[in-house]
Amino acid sequence: MRVHVADHPLITHKLTVLRDVKTPSPVFRSLVEELMTLLAYEGTRGVRVEPVDIVTPVAPTTGVRIADPKPLIVPILRAGLGMLEGMVKLVPTAEVGFLGMARNEETLEPTTYAERLPDDLSDRQCFVLDPMLATGGSLTAAIQYLFDRGATDVTAICILAAPEGLAAVERALHGRDVTIVLGALDERLNELGYIVPGLGDAGDRLYGTV
Ligand code: URA
């Protein structure tokens, strides 16, 4: 598994405003979208391309285009939805699928409560969007689900992560072709499962439920 922490002053600046408890939902939403576009640039370094011949106004040349099958973007409901627009702006030809993950309160295991994906993910590059990598349970389950359906490689893009969650994903998916792209790696998880210093509940802050 590869982990890439984006190290760019623009990302850190936007993250600082995002973390601020005084930042209201509309600003928070725009910032998530902007951050996502910057992280998508980092996260798509390995996107598969194929050569294409074109003619410029001056001369014929060969460039590249995103190869088939097109990449699949999978936001994890609900907070991952806030990241979708920023990603599709950068990769408009990608397809979009959806996964809803929730914790089963009896078994405490993450379960899939909603799924809208192409049947066959053979040969697909998948990009999972989940803003907060906290315990790593739902992200691991989502990535495993995509591999089980035939995906070849998965990149997860998260705004923040806790070291405990990152280590848990690494343990569970050791040896698989997984890349994790982060806006920042924070200090720790607290006893309530929040990332510290974090930004609070990303879904609530995106959708104004605080
Ligand atoms: N999910 C969130 O939205 N925030 C956290 O800090 C942890 C998980």
Q: What is the ipTM of this complex?
A: 0.96
Residue 95, number of CB atoms within 10 A of its CB = 16
pLDDT at 210: 57
Tell me: pLDDT of 105 over 80: no
State yes or no: is 209 an active-site residue.
Answer: no
DSSP string, 41-59: HHHTTT--EEEEEEE-SS-
Tell me: pLDDT of 177 over 80: yes
**What number does CATH give the domain 2-207?**
3.40.50.2020
Residue 154 near ligand 1, beta carbon < 6 Å = no
Can you tell me the distance from the alpha carbon of 8 to that of 122, in angstroms, rounded to the nearest whole number? 34
- At 125-158, the pLDDT tens digits run 999 999 999 999 999 999 999 999 999 899 999 9
Residue 177 near ligand 1, beta carbon < 6 Å = no
For the chain, how big is the Rg over CA atoms in Å? 18
Q: Judge whether 151 is annotated as a binding position.
A: no
**pTM given for the model:** 0.95
Residue 1 near ligand 1, beta carbon < 6 Å = no
For residue 201, the ligand 1 atom closest to its alpha carbon is 3
